Amino acid sequence: MKTLTNATVRSGAARDFIKKLNSQKLLILMILPACVYFFVFHYIPIYGIIVAFKDFSISSGILGSRWVGLKWFYEFFNSYVFWRLLRNTLMLNVYNLMFGFPVPIIFALLLNEIKGKRIKRTIQTISYLPHFISVVIVVSIMNLLLSTTGGVVNKAVAAFGIEPINFMYEKSWFRFLYVFSAIWQNFGWNSIIYFAAIANINKELYEAATIDGANRWKQTLYITIPGILPTIGIMLLLRLGSLMSVGFEKIILMYNPSTYEVSDVISTYVYRKGLLASNFSFGAAVGFFNSVINFIILVASNYISNKLSGDTIGLW
């Protein structure tokens, strides 16, 4: 008797499951390509991580190469430049976060206050145009503007009687230039998600607030900002998750030996030592180390965020 009920229960559960599957088959079909994509291009290649623990040689391939344990990690940690790379990578990201993160939010809030739809759209379009310019062009523009021989900036500086500044060669300017140009290039694009979040806030809240006598400032403070807070939180978490990664393309275009001290980051080092000098294993080890740190930061900040917000703002 007992077994029978169990079986019926099970078959009941199975029936439910199939029923659910049936009713959501279109949804499942829609999400399938994404799943396949992630599996094929992001999960399967993970086995390549083992290269970091091997002495990769072309002939023996990934699986056949000799195991060397943590050799490459030791080599990296004991490297002459390890602390400098770590510091530079973190500093660039922290600056980028500190100054770059609030800008699109403030921009979205300000633009939200503009009444004319046409002006609003125009400003928005112009603001995210730079996003589509390649970094090569951005750096060339910087080179031209900041040149000591005929650059506009130095001409302006000279008008105030200040000696021309060799911007691209002075290490004290590197971080500012890097972060500032990144903000200029991306704030418009990054603000799009906040516009979307603002548009999603229930309009009745504003009406109610107007009736209660709240001015624009109060409305922003008590309706708009709390309304987009979850979005801000999630964006912040995602940013924290890449706190240890800096794209090397722009730095390689911008740096020169005289600014290595502040501009050399983990990814440029991997590029020079891993790719240019064909040390694939070393490059993989450093990249793996980088990802692990990123992963830890992401999990930790998500945990903290969940704790602080009472499980309302978090990635999972």
Partner 1 sequence: MKKVMSLALAGVLFLFVGCTKETEVAQKSILMNTLPVELTTDVAAPYSLPLEKNEGATLKIAAFENLYGAASYAENLPVWQEIERRTGVKIEWEVIPSSQYAVVMRTRLAASRDIPDIFCLPDDSMVPQLASSELLLPLNGYINEYGQHTKKLYEKFPEAYLLNRDQDGVVYTLSDVYTEGNTVKMYAALIRKDWLETLGLSIPETLEEWTETLTAFKNQDPNGNGMKDEVPLAVSTMISLAPFASAYGLHSAYSGFWGVDALGKVQYEVLTNRYRDYITYLNMLYRNGLLKFFLNDQNGRNLLVHQNSVGCTGAEMSGISQNYIKGLISAGVKAPQVVSILPPKTPSADIVFEERTSIARRVAVYKNTANPDMAFKWLDYVWGSEDANVLLNFGIEGVSYNMVDGKPILSDWTLNNPNGLDPASAVRSLGAFPSFLNVQNGEFLKQWSSEGEIEFAAKAVSNMAKPFPLQVILTNEETQILSAYNSDISSYFEEMQIKFIMGTEPLSKFDEFVSTLKEMGVEELTKVRQAQYDRYKK
- In the 3-class helix/strand/coil scheme, how is the chain assigned residue by residue? CHHHHHHHHHHHHHHHHHHHHHHCHHHHHHHHHHHHHHHHHHHHHHHHHHHHHEECCCCCHHHHCEECCCHHHHHHHCCCCHHHHHHHHHHHHHHHHHHHCHHHHHHHHHHHCCCCHHHHHHHHHHHHHHHHCCHHHHHHHHHHHHCCCCCHHHHHHHHCCCCCCCHHHCHHHHHHHHHHHHHHHHHHHHHHHHHHHHHCCCHHHHHHHHHCCCCHHHHHHHHHHHHHHHHHHHHHHHHHCCCCCCCHHHHHHHCCHHHHHHHCCHHHHHHHHHHHCCCHHHHHHHHHHHHHHHHHHHHHHHHHHHHHHCCCCCCC
Minimum distance between the CB of residue 95 and partner 1, rounded to whole angstroms? 21
Minimum distance between the CB of residue 287 and partner 1, rounded to whole angstroms? 16
Which is nearer to partner 1, 127 or 264 (by Cβ)? 264
Minimum distance between the CB of residue 30 and partner 1, rounded to whole angstroms? 34
Which is nearer to partner 1, 33 or 257 (by Cβ)? 257
Which is nearer to partner 1, 171 or 216 (by Cβ)? 171
Which is nearer to partner 1, 62 or 209 (by Cβ)? 62
Which is nearer to partner 1, 5 or 278 (by Cβ)? 278
Minimum distance between the CB of residue 100 and partner 1, rounded to whole angstroms? 24
Which is nearer to partner 1, 66 or 131 (by Cβ)? 66
Minimum distance between the CB of residue 273 and partner 1, rounded to whole angstroms? 5
Q: Catalog residues that contact partner 1 under the rule CB under 8 A.
A: 57-59, 61, 75, 79-81, 140, 143-144, 147-150, 168-169, 171, 253-254, 256-258, 260-261, 264, 272-273, 275-280
Minimum distance between the CB of residue 260 and partner 1, rounded to whole angstroms? 4
